[in-house]
Each structure stands twice: as structure tokens, then as C-alpha cells.
């Protein structure tokens, strides 16, 4: 049986002595929950911040207010800022998380500003930089949120698989 993406992430990061911080908006804690369901997650997952309300992205995750004012919360640069910000905000004893991951988007049922239902951005960041993916997910609210979680896990695996 193949290990789940969350299991592979926790096992790989634990073996490397790496830590992870999670910033979530539309997924509302689902990504963090998926990761901490895995035995041994406490060695890897430092924690998660659910910044569902737009102003919390600025106050809790250091997303620049000007970026939020100009583009709103559903934007690739916002996702990157969330992933970078959570690494810093969840630092333990002065050590930032090795990797940050973030989700932001519109799960529906209604669009948010100019952002249609199903538009999601997932970002991963580490000391080398950040990557962001734009998704156009279909389905109901639950399906969009689940798709965002899966995309975040896939993004983390891609980042980890790219390392020696």
C-alpha cells in the first residue's frame, strides 16, 4: 500500500530534521489536521494559523496591507506572503520553520470580488524562495476545499522531492 501524501511529508521531513508551518484561509484548518493525523507529526508540524478573515492575513501573517488593498486576499502574491509569513510567525526559540505552506482562494458558493468560485492559490516557501500554483477547481464547496488541501500536499512533496 502506498503511503499517503501527508505520511510521506511527515516521514521525509522528520528524517531530515525539518519543520513545517501552515497558513490557511479557505481550507480552514483542514490541511493542518491532515498533517497532524499522521503519527510523528509533532516532530515536524510546528502549528497552523487559520487567517480566514482578510485583515488577519496582515496582522497574523505579515501580508502587506497594500497588497491586500490592491489585489484582495485571493492572489498569488498573497499566497506567497502567507507562506513566508507563517515561517516567521511560528518560529520556535528564534528558529523559523524550514518550510511554510499556504492556501487562499474562493470555495463558494459566491465569488469574492473579482475572484470566481474555485480560484485557489497554494504556495510553499523555504529559505531558497517560494513557489505558487494557481488552481481552477470545480465542484461544491467541500470539493474545492479538498482539492486545495491535495494541491498543498502535492506542492510540499514537489518541494521535498526537489531536494537532495
- Report whether the peptide linkage leading into residue 91 is cis, meaning its omega lies within 30 degrees of zero: no
How far apart CA 107 and CA 116 sit, in angstroms, is 9
Cα–Cα–Cα angle for 134, 140, 146, nearest 5°? 55
State pLDDT tens for residues 123-135.
Answer: 999 999 999 999 9
Q: For the chain, how many structural domains are there in total?
A: 1
CATH code at 65? Answer: 3.90.950.20
Q: Is the pLDDT of residue 2 over 80?
A: no
Helix intervals (H) in the chain:
5-16, 30-36, 54-61, 65-71, 76-89, 141-161
Q: Mean of the pLDDT values across residues 98-117?
A: 97
Domain that holds residue 57: 5-161
State pLDDT tens for residues 11-28.
Answer: 999 999 999 999 999 999
Q: Mean of the pLDDT values across residues 143-153?
A: 98
Average pLDDT, the chain: 96
Q: Mean of the pLDDT values across residues 38-57?
A: 98
Sheet arrangement for strand 99-105: 45-50, 20-24, 99-105, 119-126, 129-136
Amino acid at each position: 500500500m502506498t503511503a499517503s501524501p501527508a505520511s510521506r511529508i511527515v516521514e521525509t521531513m522528520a528524517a531530515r530534521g525539518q519543520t513545517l508551518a501552515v497558513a490557511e484561509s479557505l481550507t480552514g484548518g483542514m490541511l493542518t489536521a491532515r498533517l497532524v493525523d499522521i503519527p510523528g507529526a509533532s516532530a515536524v508540524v510546528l502549528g497552523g494559523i487559520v487567517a480566514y478573515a482578510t485583515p488577519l492575513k496582515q496582522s497574523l501573517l505579515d501580508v502587506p496591507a497594500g497588497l491586500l488593498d490592491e489585489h484582495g486576499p485571493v492572489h498569488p502574491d498573497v499566497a506567497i506572503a502567507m507562506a513566508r509569513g507563517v515561517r516567521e510567525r511560528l518560529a520556535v526559540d528564534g528558529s523559523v520553520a524550514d518550510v511554510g505552506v499556504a492556501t487562499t482562494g474562493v470555495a463558494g458558493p459566491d465569488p469574492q470580488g473579482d475572484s470566481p468560485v474555485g480560484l485557489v492559490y497554494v504556495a510553499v516557501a523555504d529559505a531558497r524562495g517560494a513557489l505558487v500554483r494557481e488552481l481552477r477547481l470545480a465542484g461544491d464547496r467541500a470539493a474545492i476545499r479538498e482539492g486545495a488541501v491535495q494541491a498543498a500536499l502535492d506542492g510540499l512533496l514537489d518541494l521535498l522531492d526537489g531536494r537532495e
